Amino acid sequence: MPLLDADVTTWDFNDLIWHDTAFLDHSTDWLNDFQPGSDISTSGSANRQASIPHGSVRSTSNNAVVQSATSPTSSVEGSHTLVEYFLASDVPPILATVEVGPRWTSCKMLFASLASTSPMARNAITAFSALQIARQSSDGRSNHQSLYQKASRQLSQLVVATQQDFVACAVDLPAALATVFFLSYCDLLTNKVDNAHGLFKDALSLLQCHKARNLTLVEKRLVSWIRLVDGRASSAGGDGSFLSGTDGNAYSPEAHQRSAEDDKTRSSAPQDADVEIQEILFDILYAPGLAFYQQVQSIMARVSNIDPWHRSRGTVEDETQVMATAAEILTDLRDLERKRPPLMDFAVAGTLTERHVTQHIATAITRSYRTYWANFEAGFIHLHRVAHKHLPPTPDVLRARATIKKVVRLFEQSSEALPTNFIWPLLMACCEEDDFEDRAWMIRAIRSMQAFACNAQPIADVLEEVHKRQDTTKVRADVRQVSMDMFNMSFAVV
């Protein structure tokens, strides 16, 4: 049942695909055979009942808001309702600059399909939904843990079964990867980074069992999402093992290349040639930026692996090794800069407009490419603070700081909220900022993201303490050490 009464045949799909499709009736009947409280039924149920009570859930520009005092997690149709809640919500913040436009529509179709066929994936999706609802409710209570544990047990069983007979379990790989994505995302949101590391290892184990065959585009897409979560885990002390283990062309999704097997994840809504052409053009323009961002994530993990939390430091031998590795990373950063997508500079500058492509395409690509470029520039600051902590900022560091600040101003000028994936560049730039007014401005920008980035407030608090220590000692302060001193934990930047 659609959340809003509408006749699908009257919609303008040329415009619709660029907006959130939460109000669509997902006509695949993905829950036709699902009986609440059980696994997928094989008997074929009657027509699907309305899954979301009137007034219980609505999607907003930034969040899905629970408008009823009754939480879907306590509903008789809890699992059913939680999946519908997820499908009616906006894109998860970590994917907000990755899965936009028609890509998020196809994502919803993928998740609906996985929820209907895999109890494991359904439990992972509902655990994530329950956690999101709890974060938005007044009491903050959540029963996501029981759903999390169900999905975790099912994932562990699949990992064991796959190691014994990976051919028989090959069909479950997309569901397993989706499960790892949602469970590890939950771990980061609840500051349980160690749990996420175990999930990353499970995902790597599954991929290694399936390395004899080529991954589908859907599987590669899911791998790219897990890489994003691992990148955020690296900011909280993770070792980036999944990033390093999937750093290669075999795991890079080429979104504009489609096969019959992957068409099943696309929207079931009727489309005409104009819509099809717009989707293809979007993917062709977007894919180079995604590939660029994946490489940025890999470099971020490599930098983390030479910090004092991941390897010994302080001896001549240690520092010689770190300097050599840092030189390699710096070379790769500059090489990546030379290989940036040709459209990157125009998009970051805001000169890609409706004169060249439709407004929705231009807006989506501009927003995402700006975020990708800011994260790339943050790599220079991150590397300097890890490997060359005792040295003055280099021209690369000063340029990176200025560029990140400039891009933030561009977002402000267009009255756009900063994406969650912008916290890391802001954190790095603010650590190197000397101007007191700019420091306060950047910290305010991070605090303003608390509504959709759960760790924004403590990260801003840590930044203020970093500045106090640096101003007093005239030596760069380790962000993670400050976090441990203040909160006895290191926050993932999510």
Does the pLDDT value for residue 256 go beyond 50? no
Cβ atoms of 424 and 445 within 8 Å: the answer is no
pLDDT on residue 126: 92
Segment 273-277 shows an average pLDDT of: 70
Angle between helices 102-117 and 119-136 (to 10 degrees): 120
Residue 234 CA to residue 311 CA, distance in Å, equals 14
Segment 482-487 shows an average pLDDT of: 92
Confidence of residue 106 (pLDDT cuts 50, 70, 90): confident
Query: Looking at per-residue confidence, does 385 or 90 come out higher?
Result: 385
Query: Looking at per-residue confidence, does 337 or 12 come out higher?
Result: 337
- HSE-CB at 239 with a 13 A cutoff on CA atoms is 10
| Sequential DSSP letters for 216-270 | PHHHHHHHHHHHHHHHHHHTTT---HHHHHT-SGGG---TT---TTTGGGS--S-
Residues in CB range of 204: below 8 A, 6 or more apart: 241, 242, 245, 246
Residue 137 CA to residue 141 CA, distance in Å, equals 8
Which residue in the block uniquely carries the two structure tokens 């996420």?
196
Query: Looking at per-residue confidence, does 73 or 429 come out higher?
Result: 429
Residue 106 CA to residue 26 CA, distance in Å, equals 11
Other Cβ atoms less than 10 A from the Cβ of 268: the count is: 13
The one-character DSSP state at 40 is B
Angle between helices 436-447 and 423-431 (to 10 degrees): 160
Residue 53 CA to residue 75 CA, distance in Å, equals 10
Does the pLDDT value for residue 51 go beyond 80? no
Other Cβ atoms less than 10 A from the Cβ of 142: the count is: 21
Distances (CA, A) of 220 to 144, 254, 301, 476: 27, 9, 19, 39
Does the pLDDT value for residue 373 go beyond 70? yes
Cβ atoms of 401 and 432 within 8 Å: the answer is yes
- For 381-439, what is each residue's pLDDT tens digit? 999 999 999 999 999 999 999 999 999 999 999 888 888 889 999 999 999 999 999 99
Segment 185-203 shows an average pLDDT of: 90
Segment 107-134 shows an average pLDDT of: 89
Please return the burial class of 93, using the count of CB atoms within 10 Å of its CB with bins 0-12, 13-18 and 19+: buried
Cβ atoms of 231 and 297 within 8 Å: the answer is yes
Residues in CB range of 347: below 8 A, 6 or more apart: 289, 365, 366, 369, 370
Residue 301's nearest CA partner among 247, 374, 355, 366 is 247
Confidence of residue 271 (pLDDT cuts 50, 70, 90): low
Residue 232's nearest CA partner among 454, 5, 461 is 454
pLDDT on residue 255: 46
pLDDT on residue 141: 57
Confidence of residue 445 (pLDDT cuts 50, 70, 90): very high
Residue 492, SS3 per DSSP: coil
Residue 286 CA to residue 255 CA, distance in Å, equals 8
Does the pLDDT value for residue 74 go beyond 60? no
The one-character DSSP state at 66 is E
Structure tokens at 241: 């093992």
Other Cβ atoms less than 10 A from the Cβ of 335: the count is: 10
Segment 220-233 shows an average pLDDT of: 90
Residue 44 CA to residue 32 CA, distance in Å, equals 7
Residue 83 CA to residue 60 CA, distance in Å, equals 17
Residues in CB range of 281: below 8 A, 6 or more apart: 357, 361
